[in-house]
Amino acid sequence: MRRFEFAVDREHARAVNEVVADIRRMRVLALAAAIVLGLGTAGLISLNHPYSFLLAIAFALGTIIALFVAVWTPYRSRIEKLYAEGDLVPAVVSGKQPKGVTLLALVNLAKPEADPRYALITRVVRALPGHRTGLGEQVPAVTVRADRVPRSVADLRQVVSAMPIAWGTRDLAVIDRARAAISDVEWKLLADNLTLASKVQGRDSKYLLLDPQQLPEELRG
């Protein structure tokens, strides 16, 4: 795993980081669900019927789970924690969208003890402060698990998403330092595969594994 350390600008991240916005929405939904389930629990108990008590137990469990998600998610997904624990990866602008651009990223889905298994993933983003949005623009990013749960499938990690370094800092020097920390081989591999972005987006798995034999020698492990 390749880490990248920098001081996260929390004010900037709250304003532009789409992962932070997703976490905020998740928490609001969890709180709303907890309220609805809590009211449902109280209503079922008030019916004073054997079957309603059984349903009330199920609703109460749902309330507890929703409250746990609402309370735990901000801690588990603190922006500094996500940047510190994510793997530094290359991403490039691969296309324009009505409300943003598509990023094509190169990620290693292999477990730490296994040989690398590189894959292409895509992410549509609305804003890229500190970057141009032209085709091929280099956007250093870190990996973030989509659901923040450390599951894996067979020998591969669960599919991840890419979170640009630019969503965590206004400092262009930090972005340049992150870009330089990624090898030219990786940047070239992405540049050579820009046309695969649409193929990646169309796959149910949301990623496209690359044949290790077709990779540059430096990435074969």
Backbone region of residue 12 per phi and psi (left: phi > 0; alpha: psi in -120 to 50; beta: other values): alpha
pLDDT at 221: 64
The answer to whether residue 76 scores a pLDDT higher than 60 is no
- Banded pLDDT at 98 (limits 50, 70, 90): confident
| pLDDT tens digits, one per residue of 109-155 | 887 777 888 999 999 999 899 999 999 999 999 998 754 444 445 56
What percent of the chain is modeled with pLDDT above 90?
39
The answer to whether residue 102 scores a pLDDT higher than 50 is yes
pLDDT at 69: 72
Q: Return the residue matching tokens 């924690």.
A: 81
Q: What is the CA radius of gyration of the chain?
A: 21
What's the whole-number mean pLDDT along residues 206-214? 87
Backbone region of residue 136 per phi and psi (left: phi > 0; alpha: psi in -120 to 50; beta: other values): left
User: 161 or 77: whose pLDDT is higher?
Assistant: 161
Distance between alpha carbon 187 and the CA centroid of its chain, in Å? Answer: 20
What's the whole-number mean pLDDT along residues 89-114? 89
pLDDT at 90: 97
C-alpha atoms less than 13 angstroms from C-alpha of 159 in its C-beta half-sphere: 14
d(CA 70, CA 118): 34
pLDDT at 152: 47
pLDDT at 150: 45
The answer to whether residue 104 scores a pLDDT higher than 90 is yes
pLDDT at 160: 83
Contact at 8 Å (CB) between 62 and 44?
Answer: no
The pTM of the full predicted model, rounded to 2 decimals, is 0.78
